Structure 1
Amino acid sequence: MFNKGAGNQALVQYPDVASAQAAFEQADHRNMYTDSNLIRVGYSTHHDIKVRANTDRTWDYTKKKTCEGSAPAGPADTTPSSATPSATPSAPPSGPPAVVGPVDSGLKASLRERIVADMPNTWSARLPGTDTCVLIVQGLNMEMVGAEALAALFGLYGDVRRVKMMPEQDSAIVEMERPVQAYVAKWLLDASPLGGRVIKVKSSTQDTIRDVQAQDFTAFPLHGYRQYASPRHPSYLANLVEPTAVLRIANIDWDTSEITFRSLLTQQEGVMGVTRLLPSSHTSPALVSFQSVEAAVHACILLHNQEVDGRLLYVTFSDATVGV
C-alpha cells in the first residue's frame, strides 16, 4: 500500500498472468460499494513484489504466521517508485483482501483461514481495519429481508444487538456485540446471496446505533457467544464458515423426531440430500445440501432456532462435501 498524491494505491501480485488478467477484467471501473469507491486497475511494470515482513502496508499471503495472532517482525519493504498510477481502495490493514461482486467459494475459504489465523485472544481486542461494532448492509431486497432475518444471519458470527432497516436505501445497519464479531461478519457475509440479490457489507463510522426506531435484539434467543471467554474458543471458531450450499444442523433427536425433521426439510426449497454425520448416534448432527448457496442461506434463516419436538435446532454453514 502507498500514496503518491493520487489517493491510496496498491500493488497486487498474482501467481500467473491469467489470474491477473481475470482480476483486471472483474475489478476495473467497478464500484467497491454502491455508487462509491470507484476502482481503477492497471498493469505494473514490476514483475515481482518483495515483502520482507507482514505489516499494515505490506502482506505476503504465501507466508504463514510465526505464532498465534502475530506476524513476523522486521522492517517493511519500501514501495517501488514506478508503481502503476491507478488508484484502488485498500482492504483493512493486515486484513483479508477487498472483494468486488460475487465471491467464489475458494476465495471465501481463504478469507476464513486468514480470519481464524488473525483471531485475537480477547473479545476486547481490535482486528485490523475494524474499530466499530456497527456494519452497513447494502443491496437488500426489502420485500424479502427484514430485521429478524438479518439478526439470524449475522447472529451466526456474533451477538446482534440492534438492527435498523432503511427501506428507502435498500440498506440496513447492524450492530454487533463486539468489534471482533463485526469484523468476522463483514468479511464472511460480504458479497453473499440474500433475497435474490448479492449484499454488500462494510464497516460504519458509527460506534453504536442510537436511532430509537432500531429493533433491539439484545434479548434475542439466538445469542450463543456471550458464554465464551475468548473469540478463540473452539466452538466459536468452528462456526466461522462463510455461506455455502451445505448446512450443518445439530440438536436433533433421531429416535423421536426424524419424521418431523424430514418433514420440515421438505418445506425448504432446493434440498438435495441429508446425511447423518454419526449414523449410530441418535443425536447426530446432519449435513443438508442445497441446490445453491442462496437456497441454503434462506433455509438457514428459517431453520435456526426452529423447535422440533421440544428441541431447538442449531444451524450453521458447513464446508463439508455431501454426496447426493
Structure 2
Amino acid sequence: MDALGGGLKRLAEDQIPGVSDAKKTKLSDNSQPSRVLHVRSLPAATTEFEVAALAAPFGRVTNIMLLRQRNQALMELEDEAIAATCCNYYNYTPAMIRGQTVQLQHSRHTELLLSPSNNATGGAAQATPGTDGPNVLHILIDNMIYPVTLDVLHTIFSKYGTVLRIITFTKNGQFQALVELSDSHSASTAKLALDGQNIYDRCCTMRIDSSKLATLTVNSNTDRQRDYTKPDVSDNVTTVRPVLLGGGSAATAASIAGLPGMPAGMTALQNLMAGNGALGAMSGANMAGLGGMSTASPVLLVSNLNDETVSPQDLFILFGVYGDVQRVKILFNKKDTALIQFATGQQSQTAQRHLHRVTFQTKVMHVTTSKHNSVAMPNEDQDATLTKDFTDSPLHRYKQSGSHNLQNIYPPSPSLHLSNIPASITQDELERLFLLISPSLVTFKWITNQRSEEPAKVDRRMALVQLPSTELAIQALVMLHNHKFEEKRYLRVSFAKNATVQ
C-alpha cells in the first residue's frame, strides 16, 4: 500500500501541466536533492507569496507554480543547497500556512519551466522579486498601541536580509519608518511577507510600500535612527549594536516589558507566528524573545557543512565565539548537518545571526533554530566520535556573569583580535603561526598599553592581524584559538571590531 501511495504521488507530479518535458529532468529515488520542492496539503486559496514565505529565510525563490485543484505547489529555489536546507529544516519543524501543516519534499524535477498555459490549468507562475528594485521600504504603523523601537524593527526585517539603516519619525500624527536592506530581493520579500501583518496581537499593523529613496543617510546613531554598517558614528545612545535575535536589548526590554495594559504572556509578533509561514516556522521562539518575554531554543541546526573536514571540535571553537557551546552532534546519517547546543537561547540566536550563510571550510553554512531544546548523548552502540560534550570545557568565553567578552562580540571578518600573548613572543613568531594557514598576511599590529614612559615597560599582550579573506580568518581562528605558548598560557583569538586593521 505504501509503495502504491508513493507511486501515485510521483504520477501526480509527473502530470503537472505547464512543465516543459523537453527541459525537465526526472530524478531517480536515489539521486541528489533537487532545487525544486513539492509542497502538498495547502489550505484553500493559498497565495504564491505564502508558499514563497516558507523558503524566504533560506534563500531566493526563483519560480512558483500553484496547483490549486490539488492544493499543491512546486517551488524552485536558487540552488540545491538552499532547497536541501529548507527541506531539512522542515523535517524537524512542521511547516505551516494559515495554521495548517503542509508537507515539503524534493521534487523529481531539477528545474521548473513554466509556460503560458499554466493560467488556464489552475497553476499560477510567480517569480520572486527581481534584483533591480528599491532597497528601501516605507512603513506606516496603524493602530499603534505599544511602542515600536528600532530594535523591534531590526529584528523583524533582518529575518529577510541584512538591514543596513533604519530611520523612524512621526508625520501627521502617525509613526512611520524607513528601512534599508542590503538588496532589492530582500526588500521585496520582506514587503510581500510583512505588509498588513500585526507586530503585536491586534495592533501595530504594518503598511509597507517601496520608497523612492535609493539609500538612507544617518548622520548619528540615536534612538530614532541607526546606521548598522557604522556602529560607532557619533553614538548618542548607550549601545548601537543591532539587537541579538531572540535576546532583545535593554532598550527593547524597557519599551515592551511591563507596559500598562500589556496582556499577560503577550508575545511579540503573535499574529505572524499564528499565521506561521517562514517567519513563524523559523522564528516563533526567536521573535518571542523580544523584551525577554520568552526564550528561544538553545539548540541550532547547522547544515551544508563540509562533511569531509568538519569535526565537533571545529564547530565548538567557531560557534563558541558567540556563546558557551555545551554539546555538538554531527548527524550520523547526514554528516553535513549538526546540532549545536548553547547555554542559553540568547547565545544560540547571537550565533545564528552572525554565522548564517558564512563560508566555513569552503561551504556556505545554513544556520536555523532547532525544535529541540537539548542534544542527547549517543547510546553505547552509536558512533561517539560524532557527538561531544563541552559542558565543562575551560574554553567557554562567557561562563562568568557580566564577562567583558560580552561587550566585544563581532561578526566574522578578515581581521582577528589576539590576546593573552606572552611577553617573550615576538611578532615574527606570531606571523609564522598564521602563515601556516594563509599564504600571506595583510597587516599585523600590536595593541600597546603604555603603562610607563620606559619603552621596556610597553605591554604587548594583544595584537590585531588581518588576513586576505574572512574564510581564511575563520580557519585561523578555529586552528589557533587556544594555541599553547607556554605552561598555562594559551592564545585567545576572536573576530576584531573592524574588518580592516588601521
Change (3 A) 1:64 1:135: farther
Aligned match of 1:114 in 243, 261, 269? 243
For 2:347, the equivalent position in structure 1 comes to 181
Name the structure where strand makes up a greater proportion of residues: 2
CA contact (8 A) 1:260 1:308 kept: no
Q: 1:108 Cα shift?
A: 7.9
CA-to-partner distance for each residue in 1:107-147, whole Å, 9 max, x for gaps? 8888952339933599xx98625620000111100212110
Q: How does 1:231-246 map to 2 (within 5 A)?
A: 234-238=404-408, 240-246=409-415
1:288 aligns with 2:456: no
For 2:158, the equivalent position in structure 1 comes to none
Aligned match of 1:136 in 271, 277, 301? 301
Q: 1:285 Cα shift?
A: 1.1
CA distance in 1, matches of 2:415, 2:325: 23
Change (3 A) 1:63 1:163: same
Q: 1:265 Cα shift?
A: 2.6
Change (3 A) 1:284 1:167: same
Name the structure where helix makes up a greater proportion of residues: 2
Change (3 A) 1:114 1:8: farther
CA contact (8 A) 1:41 1:87 kept: no
CA-to-partner distance for each residue in 1:210-261, whole Å, 9 max, x for gaps? 24243111122211212124xxx543121x111100000011124x111543
Alignment TM-score, normalising by the size of structure 2: 0.46
Q: 1:297 Cα shift?
A: 0.2
Gaps of 5+ in 2: 1-44, 51-55, 63-76, 88-103, 105-125, 155-164, 178-187, 201-226, 232-239, 258-284, 289-294, 379-383, 451-457
Q: 1:272 Cα shift?
A: 2.4
Say which is worse superposed, 157-166 or 209-218, in terms of deviation. 209-218
Aligned match of 1:257 in 411, 419, 425? 425
CA distance in 2, matches of 1:62, 1:161: 35
For 1:227, the equivalent position in structure 2 comes to 400
Change (3 A) 1:119 1:48: closer
Change (3 A) 1:108 1:317: farther
For 2:282, the equivalent position in structure 1 comes to none
Q: 1:171 Cα shift?
A: 0.6
CA distance in 1, matches of 2:491, 2:396: 13
Q: How does 1:77-156 map to 2 (within 5 A)?
A: 88=193, 113-115=242-244, 118-119=248-249, 128=287, 131-156=296-321
For 1:278, the equivalent position in structure 2 comes to 448
CA-to-partner distance for each residue in 1:64-110, whole Å, 9 max, x for gaps? 79xxxxxxxx9999xxxxx99996599xx89xxxxxxxxxxx98888
For 1:41, the equivalent position in structure 2 comes to 128
For 1:299, the equivalent position in structure 2 comes to 476
Give RMSD over aligned pairs. 4.3
Letter in 2 for 1:257: I
For 2:212, the equivalent position in structure 1 comes to none
CA distance in 1, matches of 2:472, 2:338: 21
Bigger relative CO (Cα 8 Å, ≥ 6 apart): 1
Percent of aligned pairs with the same residue?
23
For 2:60, the equivalent position in structure 1 comes to 27
Change (3 A) 1:88 1:175: same
CA contact (8 A) 2:228 2:242 kept: no
CA contact (8 A) 2:442 2:468 kept: yes
Alignment TM-score, normalising by the size of structure 1: 0.68
CA-to-partner distance for each residue in 1:174-221, whole Å, 9 max, x for gaps? 000100100100110111110011101000000111242431111222
Q: 1:301 Cα shift?
A: 0.5
Change (3 A) 1:193 1:114: same
Equivalent pairs counted in the alignment come to 270
Aligned match of 1:54 in 148, 151, 157? 148
Change (3 A) 1:7 1:187: farther
